[in-house]
Chains A and B, each alone.
Chain A
Amino acid sequence: MYFGPSPAVYHCHHFNLFLDQTIDDALGFEAGSRLRFLAGREFAGPLLSGIAEANGATTPAEKLDLASKLFAGMGHGRLQVNADAKGGDAKGSFLHYGYSWSQKYGQIVKRKQPADAFGAGFAAAATEVALGLTSETMSAQESGCVAMKAPGCTFTLKPGDRVAKLPPVGEAEVGKQVTPTFNGLYEEVIQPITQGLRDFTAPVAGDERGLVQAFGVFVTLHLAGYYNRISYEAVQQVEKKAPQSVGVLEDLLRESGHVCVFNTFGGILLSPEWEGMVGPLTGEPLPIIEGCMAIARALGFGRWTIAEFEPGKRLVVRAPCSYESVFYRSRYGKAPRPNEYFLQGACLAIAQLAHRVDWKAKPMLTQDFYNALFRGGPLPWKVEQPKSTSCGHSISEVVVTKVEGARA
């Protein structure tokens, strides 16, 4: 999926927060937030340039205004940049990362560091584009954050933060990696649902705060490049400095996908829109799996297909590629092992949604529900990825199987 010239994807606050947290856990807050800032700045730049050109914005004021509207329209909150070539400041309210962190964790944990490195990157890129400055040279640092109980989010911008440029990953590069689509099982069910979903997700829009609250989550239209850069660079850095920790990092990258899909797809399945379109949930696993394939397609994750499904035992999902693999191939070439972490975590979550949730009881998919379902040791389902287009295989394939003798 593209937004203007930029590969884009919808993700919820569960994914966004858990992924950013994982990057910081892996690299330490300083290096983690630096990477998140750089990724935000790198990928927001081309988006802002492209959108400004498409909308005929020519003056700095027009471009900065457009940037603010774009940020809010994507569900990231309200961001006002006030800067010139010598720097300046930016103010944020209801920024997606900081605000949703407060909502999700603010009553459980005290936060000591700011949360909006992506917002900082976006503010820096907006300044560069508005003023015609060299891209990826403006720095932005968040000094106050609502996640730290400040009244608002504040950023300081300064020039002179130049870094070596990385190979671009935009529409042209990604386009070369996209492979032909194919059908899987139960397409006669999945395809009409996908079309219907596109109808009912189309009206979902930002509110007065610049946030998109739908299906029980905060949704953002986000830049695929941001997610991919922070994930893959974190893996590369950990491979160099602490190779014994790579497995744990990959587990947590998968968990980001797992928590996202469980909550977002679960929220859609429980919505009145779904009930109207598909009917009440029966509790049988197959309709849940079919529904989740349709949701994945409608949200721009890719054309996921059911290759095999044996209820209670095995689920095999195949896709022609993913937003992860096309990035990896474009920037780094062939991967040494399958590494589509979101796809892996998502498929695992789909199997769990199909088999472990009592849908007829109309559950509340709360944090407590999630914690209770997933605590207490190894999960009863496991996921493997035998094939990945990152590695040069012709398709990406994920296999989810029930662990023998495992709990329900």
Chain B
Amino acid sequence: MAQETVKDAVGDVPSLRAVFVTAMPDCLLYDSWVRPEETWAAEDAASYFGDLVRANREGLRALKSWSAEMQVTIESADVLMIVRELRSDFVVTLAFQREVPLGMVRLHAKRVMDRLDQILPTLEAQQRPRAVKITEFLEKYAPDPHAALHRVALRTGIPLNTLRKPESLENSQVALLEASVCDILGLESLSL
């Protein structure tokens, strides 16, 4: 964790409700700050923002468009979020109060991102086994997530206890796992 903290980087922005720092490419929560009166759980949300940026990048690639400066703005009824890649190792999500004008939000976001760029370390991307990433993806996006691994076990014939330790799967089992997760999620492939 950096000596100057995420909280230090954002403390003077009263309209900011939360910051989530997601480590890429594995979409794991690295750090966060949530205003005390909020009820958000950072670990529930952070990985989805990593997936969002990755999916956007794929979409832009499909349009033969690429930008190092890609930023996604999400406006909902009660929150305004800026999601941005910070180097290749982090995605930073800033959640603002909805009523703040967009121009002001962008100004705050740029300042905060510059500060975070100074304090966040350079991460060496860990090479996590693909099977681990697949089972995490399944648990995030499957309908009936509590039963998802059972469904994979039934479809593939891989014992449930083996699936619970995905790092131990053999290559042929990983291929079966991936195919069944694609079927369950209705996807052609998994962008992991």
Residues of A bordering B, CB below 8 Å: 18, 21-22, 25-26, 104-105, 108-112, 242, 244-245, 247-249, 251-252, 255, 259, 367, 371, 374-376
Would you call A110 and B186 a contact (CB within 8 A)? yes
Would you call B144 and A245 a contact (CB within 8 A)? no
B55 to chain A, nearest CB (A): 15
Q: Can you name 7 extra interface pairs (CB under 8 A) apart from A18-B144, A111-B186, A376-B146?
A: A108-B141, A110-B185, A245-B153, A245-B154, A248-B154, A255-B150, A375-B145
Distance in angstroms between the alpha carbons of A22 and B147 in the assembled complex: 10
Would you call A112 and B154 a contact (CB within 8 A)? no
Write the chain B residue with the least CB distance to A251.
Answer: B150
Would you call A252 and B151 a contact (CB within 8 A)? yes
Instruction: Judge if B160 is at the interface, Cβ distance under 8 Å.
Output: yes
Would you call A252 and B147 a contact (CB within 8 A)? yes
Distance in angstroms between the alpha carbons of A367 and B147 in the assembled complex: 13
Would you call B157 and A112 a contact (CB within 8 A)? no
Would you call B186 and A109 a contact (CB within 8 A)? yes
B155 to chain A, nearest CB (A): 5
A375 to chain B, nearest CB (A): 5
Write the chain A residue with the least CB distance to B149.
Answer: A248
Would you call B157 and A22 a contact (CB within 8 A)? no
Distance in angstroms between the alpha carbons of A112 and B187 in the assembled complex: 10
Distance in angstroms between the alpha carbons of A44 and B183 in the assembled complex: 31
Instruction: Judge if B121 is at the interface, Cβ distance under 8 Å.
Output: no
Write the chain B residue with the least CB distance to A14.
Answer: B144
Q: Is the interface of B mostly helix, strand, loop or mixed?
A: helix
Q: Which of B143, B146, B183 is within 8 Å of A374, CB to CB?
A: B146
Instruction: Judge if B159 is at the interface, Cβ distance under 8 Å.
Output: yes
Would you call B154 and A25 a contact (CB within 8 A)? yes
Question: Contacts A18-B144, A371-B144 known; A249 to B154 CB distance under 8 Å?
Answer: yes
B62 to chain A, nearest CB (A): 18
Residues 137-175 (chain B) with a chain A CB within 8 angstroms: 139, 141, 143-147, 150-151, 153-155, 157, 159-160
A83 to chain B, nearest CB (A): 32
Would you call A244 and B186 a contact (CB within 8 A)? no
Q: Which of A22, A105, A248 is within 8 Å of B143, CB to CB?
A: A105
Q: Which of B141, B145, B155 is within 8 Å of A25, CB to CB?
A: B155
Would you call B151 and A245 a contact (CB within 8 A)? no
A12 to chain B, nearest CB (A): 15
A35 to chain B, nearest CB (A): 15
B164 to chain A, nearest CB (A): 10
Would you call A248 and B160 a contact (CB within 8 A)? yes
Q: Which of B143, B153, B186 is within 8 Å of A112, CB to CB?
A: B186
Question: Contacts A25-B154, A248-B150 known; A371 to B187 CB distance under 8 Å?
Answer: no
Kindly list chain A residues whose C-beta atoms are within 8 Å of the C-beta of B186.
Answer: 109-112
Interface centre among B144, B150, B151 (most CB of A within 10 A): B144
Would you call B153 and A248 a contact (CB within 8 A)? yes
